[in-house]
Amino acid sequence: MKALIVARHEFSTSVKRWSFLLVTFGLPLFLLGVMGTSLLLQKESMEEASARISQAKLGFVDEAGLLTEPPRDTWVRYSSREEAKSRMRKDHVQIVAVVPADYLSDGRVDVYSTIAPSLFTLNESLVHPEFRDYLLSCILREEDPRRLARAKEPVAATVPVYLAERDGVSREERPEDYLQRMISGVTFFFLLFISISVSGGYLIQGMADEKENRVMEMVISSVTPEQLMTGKLIGLGAVGLLQVAIWSLMGTGTALGLAMSFAINPPLFLFCAIFYLLGYLLYGGLLLGIGSLGSNQRESTQFTWFISVTVMSPVFLWVSILSSPQSTLARVLTYIPLTTPTTMMLRYSVDPIGTPWWEIVLSIALLIASTVLAIRAAAKLYRVGLLLYGKRPALKEVWRWLWA
């Protein structure tokens, strides 16, 4: 009961602060404005760069003797490379395509251009699509027009069907099925990461402020350290979750992703929700317990940096996990408690059939056991760390408190 009183106090106090309102509503709007402006300018730059290439005046040199009359009068034919390079600027030609004498054997087309390269066109071919069609028509000019049309598009757009098999039963799956599951896993993945980052910051800051202001002596006279820790974990954690929920609704993308995953695949939604909740309790308990050993916010942050880095590690590897959910890397991360929640979310959402059921059960059991042990250990550290001022505890002291 007292833990709930502490939780309600922490929650109501935090959400009424002007800093909470500023960060919750002001930060997304600021980032949205910066990102929107950046994307708009980038889009305009990309379109300008592409337009310079697509609208460029073309010239060509036929060293292979394959090309017939060009389809456009504006295209300029040159007799040699040297003539093309010497006359390009005078003729206002920006791109010259040279078909070498050995073109039929290696397919190489040399290109000369007066258009300066840019970041957006470094990997873009300067051989215009219309010139490609013209070159193909010249190569196959004696073929049936229907063959020529099919040669320009040899394979029509198709939607592949994947055959997944488990326990000897084959099941067909389309790309949209994979995409829908991936949205659920990635949404919960980043939602957990953001929740831990935000809630962890509130937990560390709130506890450090009370220690610096010597409020803890009065607080623990009314409640036990365990009740205080539980209340803070619930109350300040709820503040972080509320902030993340508001950001999700403001972005609408996350909210739509969660709604879609629940509507399309309730078991997957429930699976991710279980790992999300257990992961939050594990990280929050460790942050409170270890962070309580510091006498101020700076020291508490230094003590908890290892947890933060470990939690962040799957963020740098999430593309690899999505690409190979059953790889050795993904399996190893599955059995490390601090990376179990995020890794299993991605693995199961991408490949539910290929993920063995015993790994799912084992990972949940491992995470529950780790969460219980972590909260118990954190409670012991929290009990001692509440009144710890002025000095950093030695590793031997921390070890003795854990086994006390």
For residue 122, pLDDT over 60 is answered with yes
Q: How confident is the model at residue 59 (pLDDT cuts 50, 70, 90)?
A: very high
pLDDT of residue 210: 65
* Cα–Cα distance measured from residue 306 to residue 370, given in angstroms and rounded to the nearest whole number: 17
Structure tokens at 350: 């991408």
Residue 346, number of CB atoms within 10 A of its CB = 25
Cα torsion at 41, 46, 47, 52 (round to 10°)?
Answer: 130
Checking if the pLDDT of 155 tops 60, the result is no
pLDDT, mean of residues 388-397: 65
pLDDT value of residue 154? 62
Residue-level pLDDT at 305: 74
**More confident site: 72 or 150:** 72
Structure confidence at residue 77 (pLDDT): 93
pLDDT (mean) for 182-186: 71
- Mean of all residue pLDDT scores within the chain: 76
Q: What pLDDT, on the 0 to 100 scale, is given for residue 257?
A: 57
Estimate the crossing angle of helix 357-385 against helix 225-251, to 10 degrees.
120
Residue 76: the pLDDT is 92
Residue type, 389: Y
Q: What mean pLDDT do residues 97-102 have?
A: 90
Who has greater pLDDT, 266 or 242?
242
Least confident among 108-117, 137-146, 246-255, 345-354: 246-255
Helices (H) and strands (E) in the chain, counts: 18, 6
Tokens found for residue 304 = 């908890």
Helix (H) or strand (E) holding 163: strand 162-166
Closest CA to 254 of 187, 197, 196: 187
- Specify whether the CB–CB gap between 71 and 130 falls below 8 A: yes
Lowest-confidence pick of 273-287, 355-369, 377-391 = 377-391
Tokens of 206: 């709130």
Question: Strands (DSSP E) along 288-363, which ranges?
Answer: none
pLDDT mean over 289-314: 71
Tokens standing for 251?
Answer: 């972005």
- The pLDDT confidence band at residue 352, using thresholds 50, 70 and 90, is confident
DSSP letters, 263-293, are: HH-HHHHHHHHHHHHHHHHHHHHHHHHHHTT
* The predicted structure's pLDDT at residue 168: 54
Q: Is the pLDDT of residue 341 over 80?
A: yes
In this predicted structure, the answer to whether residue 170 has a pLDDT above a threshold of 60 is no
Which pLDDT score is estimated for 148? 62
The reported pLDDT for the residue numbered 60 is 93
192 touches 276 (CB < 8 A): yes
**Mean pLDDT lowest among 68-82, 140-154, 163-177:** 163-177
Residue 14: name the closest of 299, 196, 205, 172 by CA.
205
386 — pLDDT class (breaks 50, 70, 90): low
Q: What is the model's pLDDT at position 383? A: 72
Q: Give the best-scoring range by mean pLDDT among 35-44, 65-74, 143-152, 213-222.
A: 65-74
| Overall average pLDDT of the 117-142 stretch | 78
In terms of average pLDDT, the best of 74-78, 176-180, 219-223 is 74-78
pLDDT, residue 41, reads 81
CB 223 within 8 A of CB 231: yes
Q: Which of 340, 209, 348, 202 is nearest to 267 (CA)?
A: 348
Q: What average pLDDT does the segment 222-243 reach?
A: 76
Percent of the chain with pLDDT over 70: 72
b/e string for 182-198 if b means 16 or more Cβ within 10 A? bbbbbbbbbbbbbbbeb
The mean per-residue pLDDT over the stretch 258-284 comes to 72
The pLDDT-based confidence of 98 (bands split at 50, 70, 90) is very high
What residue ranges define each of the domains in the chain, with the CATH number in brackets?
A: 50-150 (3.40.190), 175-402 (no CATH)
Residue 224 is predicted with a pLDDT of 75
Mean pLDDT of 272-295: 77
Assess whether pLDDT exceeds 80 at residue 121. no
**By C-alpha distance, which of 375, 358, 183, 367 is closest to 275?**
367
Cα–Cα dist 317/283, whole Å: 19
Question: 166 falls in which pLDDT band (50, 70, 90)?
Answer: low
Q: What is the pLDDT of residue 52?
A: 80
Strand partners, 76: 59
Alpha helices in 55-144 (DSSP H): 81-87, 103-106, 129-139
* Diameter of the chain measured on Cα atoms: 97
Alpha-carbon gap, residue 67 to 79, rounded angstroms: 12
Task: Classify the C-alpha dihedral 244-245-249-253 as positive or negative.
Answer: positive
- pLDDT at 83 (0 to 100): 93
CA distance to 75, 350, 352, per residue, from 367 (Å): 68, 20, 19
